[in-house]
A and B are shown apart, each in its own frame.
Chain A
Amino acid sequence: MGAVLALAVRDLRGVLRSRSQLYSSMLTPLLILLFLGTGVSHGLEPANLPAGDFTAYLVAGVVVMTSVFSSTFSSASYYRDRDTGMLRALLVTPRHPRAIVLGKSLAGVAIGSLQAMVVLALAAPFSDLGWQYGYVRGALLALGVVVALNLLLGGLAQALATRIQTMQGFHLVMNLALFPLLFFSGAFFPIRDLPVWLEGLALANPLTYAVDALHVAVYANDSSEFLGLWIDLPVIGGLAVAAYAAGLARMPRPTWSGR
């Protein structure tokens, strides 16, 4: 376990030294919250929101978006290790390749969860959030959801990174897969009034359950307008375990030349 932690610490340190990666994952969601939230709240005055204003409604979505960005950026460490030859050096040590993957992905989960919670902490004072369970329990619930979401996204990113040869290709696939999922997750508008076919798509979307759980934890005054934690938590938890296991199942195996 010491080796896994040493690898995780090393990756965390790498993210802290790569400032652009550290800040950009949080900045874009915060800008969306600031401009889209403020603009829509003042310009369109949507009336169908379960509670609070549109800016408050968006908070759960931007927290999920931060995790999506972060997990995508975290994969950069895998490609950097492969391209600098570091992965090759790690793979000739006595450690099992799974320990190496585990250390790297734990760092990704930690940094993604931290960034998402920082975004929540920055957005909360300026948003009309309901906090139906109180601040502490609501924040702990949000933390649990965020960690599960990052496990899910980290597992998915890891599974893809070991299969896709180039970082450009990886980012393309992640963007193609995750952005549509983000749009139909309830992050930007409630899903309950959507046409049936679109609502069906939204219910098949794993991100929907993370957004819903975060809405329940921090945005809502009561849970009646939402899917509810009793369905959100088992779905997001189960998918997190499955995706993380899938990510760890695929072992990196670069050739001697490092490719």
Chain B
Amino acid sequence: MRANAQAPAVEARGVVFAYGGRRALDGLTLEVPRGSIFGLLGPNGSGKSTFLSLVAEMRPPPEGSLRVLGEPPRRALRRRVGVVFQENSLDPLMTPREVLGLFARLYGLRKEEARDRAERLLAAVGLAERADDRIDTLSGGMRRRLEAARALLHEPDLLVLDEPTTGVDAAERQAFWALALEARERGTTVLFATNDLAEADAVCELAAFVRDGRVVACGTPAELKRGLRGETVVVDWRDPSEEELAALGALPEAGEVVRDGDTVRVSTDDASVLVPKLFALAGRRITSVQIHPTTLADAYFAHVGGRVREREGIG
């Protein structure tokens, strides 16, 4: 039993970090419970990746406090953390077996143990047949799976994933998450950053919305959606005026109204009553209307606003 086994996997209090004069983290406070799948959601430049880099590199922040697996950041703790970066981080001249062999040495695994785990992981990620092929001959999805295998090789207590499925097709995305979820079943905490709200809604047990280097809301998806009504109407509405939006917000059927350019989102308990009133307000300037159950994306827009990629599902 490790010391501080019950302490949060990651605990940040008022963390500040700046690149030159620009503050990437501005008092970020966050607690990631052990064994959870925790998503950091926010637009590009919100500070998600900077925070993950502090955790993975074990860098103490210049201001505020950071504890990882119950301890202050120090290099030896990297042995208990696995990392998958947003972009590929593999040497194209190596083979999958060589990559796992090298990193097993770097993480201090014994020879036999390293060989066993490498073989098991190569089979688990479907690369046993390609284990001795050069990486520059593998597809993008295969490389991603290899990176997942590399991150899991030393059986980390904390898995840090920075937008791990960007640019990956639906099937490969599903395969990637299956690996991460398997690790989580064994007790590994999964901390990941994404700006893919549908993916986060499908995968995470806890989420934090990050904006301008701070956490603006945090909780389970259900908690984050609380306060929003049961349905969301997404309207493409050409040039809505402030008065029209105020009139919309004043309707008894309308909840939160969020505008992002010509897209207006309204939460409601009964879209069938709200939509005719919308057309009465906007007439022919409405070009499309979508009605769907309230999602994490709606909660995100309610808390954060701004533009974030949204898809149908994680595939």
Contacts and interface: CB of A to CB of B under 8 A. Distances in A.
Interface of A: 2-3, 6-7, 10, 13-14, 17-18, 80-81, 84-86, 88-96, 255-258
A14 B86 CA distance: 24
Nearest to A255: B53
Given A14-B91, A89-B85, 13 more contacts: A2-B105, A7-B106, A10-B98, A80-B93, A84-B89, A88-B85, A88-B89, A93-B106, A94-B79, A96-B75, A256-B85, A257-B49, A257-B86
A89 B76 contact: no
Interface in B70-115: 75-76, 78-79, 81, 83, 85-94, 98, 101-103, 105-108
A256 B47 CA distance: 12
B56 interface: yes
Q: Which 3 A-B pairs have CB atoms at the shortest separation, nearest pair first?
A: A85-B89, A256-B53, A6-B105
Contacts of A92: 56-57, 78, 81, 83
A111 to B, nearest CB: 14
20 contacts: A3-B106, A6-B105, A10-B91, A10-B98, A13-B93, A80-B93, A84-B88, A84-B91, A85-B85, A85-B89, A89-B90, A92-B56, A93-B78, A93-B106, A95-B106, A255-B53, A256-B53, A256-B85, A257-B86, A258-B87
Contacts of B86: 257
Contacts, number: 80
B103 A256 contact: no
Contact of A91 (B57, B88, B92): B57
Given A94-B76, A256-B50, A86 B105 contact: no
A83 to B, nearest CB: 10
B7 to A, nearest CB: 20
B106 A84 contact: no
A2 B57 CA distance: 22
A258 B98 contact: no
A94 B93 contact: no
A10 B94 contact: yes
Interface residues of B, number: 33
Contacts of B50: 256
Contacts of B102: 6-7, 10
Interface string B53-74: 1001100000000000000000
B157 interface: no
Given A91-B57, A93-B78, A94-B76, A86 B91 contact: yes
B106 A6 contact: yes
Contact of A85 (B56, B88, B105, B134): B88
Nearest to A17: B93
Given A2-B105, A93-B78, A85 B93 contact: no
B83 A89 contact: yes
Contact of B75 (A14, A94, A255): A94
B8 to A, nearest CB: 21
B152 to A, nearest CB: 14
Contacts of B52: 256
B11 interface: no
Nearest to A90: B106
Contact of B90 (A7, A85, A91, A256): A85
Contacts of A94: 75-76, 78-79, 106-108
Contacts of B87: 85, 257-258
A89 B82 CA distance: 10
A88 B160 CA distance: 14
A80 B92 CA distance: 9
A95 to B, nearest CB: 5
Nearest to B84: A89
Contacts of A17: 93, 134
Contacts of A85: 85, 87-90
Given A13-B98, A92-B57, A256-B52, A86 B89 contact: yes
B150 interface: yes
Contact of B107 (A81, A88, A93, A257): A93
A81 B91 contact: yes
Contacts of A81: 91
A92 B80 CA distance: 11
B162 interface: yes
A14 B105 contact: no
A72 to B, nearest CB: 19
Contacts of B162: 256
Contacts of B103: 89, 93
Nearest to A99: B106
B107 A14 contact: no
Contacts of A93: 78, 103, 106-107
